[in-house]
Amino acid sequence: MEKEKKQGFFSVLKQELVRGLSPYRSRSNTPIRRKNQTNTNTDTSSIRSMSLTPLIEGPEPNGSENKDLKRVGSGLGQWMKEQLSLAPPLSYKRSDLRLLLGVMAAPLAPIHVSVSQPLPLLSIKDIPIETSSAQYILQQYIAASGGLKLQNSIKNAYAMGKMTMVASEFETATRVVKNRSASKCAESGGFVLWQMNPDMWYVELAVGGSKVHAGCNGKLVWRHTPWLGAHTAKGPVRPLRRALQGLDPRTTASMFADAKCTGEKNINGEDCFILKLCTDPETLKARSEAPAEIIRHVLFGYFSQKTGLLVHIEDSHLTRIQPNGGDAVYWETTINSFLSDYRPVEGIMIAHSGHSVVTLFRFGEMAMSHTKTKMEEAWTIDEVAFNVPGLSVDCFIPPADLRTDSVSEACEFPQDDSGRNSLAFHRAKVVALDNSHSCGVENMMFMPSCG
């Protein structure tokens, strides 16, 4: 029965893609009939029967009021609305959700990589032991993930999943406030990810009623958020970090091609080799923009000695902001992602679940002025497919209202409480939770925004 459902899902997906569907545009004359229409409780089988193009907001095409016919691309959106309608009301402000989405929705990898570039051959002559060890570990990872020949045969890929996000802890120099109702306050949602060689990707993510989407056409990276609109990202074209979380072994191997082995560590009871990758100064400079300067960006990969697979990623970057006439403020963002539930999909090992812990640490010259925010994200992968027929470069065209000026990564952090586009810095303040039923923190600090 499960096999028949999966075949039905891919049959619908293939038909729609052959018609030339784009993740950014819908076709009004290609409606999809949703199965299990009488079932009010959406389950996994009904999700799989929906159209899987990213969310598209708006009325039904041609003014149709037929409830059995859903606009192409609205299936996941309808599911999201149903889930949100069942969720308990949240008491914290929308700016808290913005903090989650601004940091965790669509972060990019540290450096530019391309799957079209060959991986370095394993060599032990005239190179440091740290480099040759890293190459050997990557060879084991490639073999464990399905083999280089099979991975090179992948021309495009698709993935869909669900997630929850929550801000779980807030700290100042004098107190720590933990969200005791984190499980009740978690924002739920889902995402759709498309990838195509060379270096093209598109992701659409909807959480808590807000939507963020981003993409790359191989030449530029663009992003659209409710608070900044559509804009290009500064710096070179880089992969989506979410794809490195067990969804794209070939890009992950390319990312660590120049890494060095720095030792071993036990991660959740599993002995792992550690590969370290540092972003070069030229890339950091290209990603910076006054008054925000990215000082460093380091990526650690933890590869299991038992299975050869990637089980943990630690991503850390430090930004220095120097406003005119003001004291410098530093922001350190650390994302620790744990990957699990590896299962083969068409011979490629894919991590079907994971958990990330994000720490946003703000500090300055005054020792008592630091603040720390801890956020968490958990996700599961529902569908993965490779070499989807009909997917073309048209699916990765940037939005028409894209701003030509680039925006630095510092601007992706949330604005201050007033929502003003300024570089004014506001002293952090955290107010304790009123009671165990309170889900938020009032008037918490935010990083300044850029226009």
DSSP 115-159: TTSPPPPP--SSS-HHHHHHHHHHHHHHHHTT-HHHHHT--EEEE
Task: Tell me: do 195 and 293 sit in the same domain.
Answer: yes
pLDDT the model gives residue 325: 73
Same domain for 50 and 107, yes or no, is no
Question: Where among 43, 61, 86 does a domain terminate?
Answer: 86
Query: Are 148 and 79 found together in one domain?
Result: no
Distance from C-alpha of 396 to C-alpha of 212, rounded to nearest angstrom: 15
Whether residue 56 is found in the same domain as residue 116: no
Q: Is residue 363 part of a domain?
A: yes
The H-assigned helical ranges of 2-128 are: 2-18, 44-48, 75-86, 94-104
- The answer as to whether 427 is a domain residue is no
The total number of residues shown for the chain amounts to 451
| 57 and 130, same domain (yes or no) | no
Residue pair 449/415 in contact (Cβ under 8 Å)? The answer is: yes
Residue 265 lies in a domain: yes
**Do residues 128 and 23 share a domain?**
no
Q: Rounded distance, CA 31 to CA 38, Å?
A: 18
pLDDT for position 23 = 45
Which pLDDT belongs to residue 138? Answer: 95
d(CA 94, CA 59): 25
Domain boundary (52, 86, 120) is at 86
Range of the domain at 262: 94-412
Do 365 and 245 share a structural domain? yes
pLDDT of 4 reads 52
Structural domain contains residue 120: yes
Q: Residue 263 has what pLDDT?
A: 96
Among 65, 86, 107, the domain-final residue is 86
pLDDT at 178: 86
The predicted pLDDT at position 117 comes to: 80
Residue 276 resides in a domain: yes
Could you give phi then psi for residue 170, rounded to 5 degrees?
Answer: -135, 135
**pLDDT tens sequence for the chain (451 residues):** 555 544 554 555 545 544 444 444 433 343 333 334 444 444 444 333 333 333 333 333 333 333 333 333 334 444 434 433 433 333 334 447 888 898 999 999 999 998 888 887 777 677 888 999 999 999 999 999 999 999 999 999 999 999 999 998 888 878 888 888 777 888 999 999 999 999 999 999 999 889 999 999 999 999 998 888 898 988 999 999 999 999 999 999 999 999 999 999 999 999 999 999 999 999 999 999 888 899 999 999 999 999 999 999 999 999 998 888 778 889 999 999 999 999 999 999 999 999 999 999 999 866 667 889 999 999 999 999 999 999 999 999 999 888 766 776 666 554 443 333 322 332 222 233 333 334 443 333 333 333 3
Give the torsion sign (CA, 226, 157, 346, 259): negative
The predicted structure's pLDDT at residue 209: 87
**329 lies in the same domain as 393:** yes
Structural domains of the chain, count: 2
Other beta carbons less than 10 A from residue 184's beta carbon: 15
Residue 70 shares a structural domain with residue 33: yes
Same domain, 205 and 64: no
Q: Is residue 424 part of a domain?
A: no
The answer to whether residues 315 and 180 belong to one domain is: yes
The 3-state DSSP composition of the chain as helix, strand, coil percent (nearest 5) reads 25, 35, 40
d(CA 401, CA 127) in angstroms, rounded, equals: 48
Q: Which residues is 70 bridged to in the sheet?
A: 32
> How far, rounded to the nearest angstrom, does the alpha carbon of residue 84 sit from its chain's CA centroid?
21
Residues 70 and 218 in one domain: no
C-alpha 241/C-alpha 247 separation (Å) is 10
Distance between CA atoms of 384 and 362, rounded to whole angstroms? 37
Measured CA to CA, the distance from residue 448 to residue 186 in angstroms comes to 25
- Is 421 part of any domain? no
pTM of the model: 0.74
Alpha-carbon distances, residue 326 vs 293, 323, 329, 365 (angstroms) = 15, 5, 9, 11
Q: Is residue 274 part of a domain?
A: yes
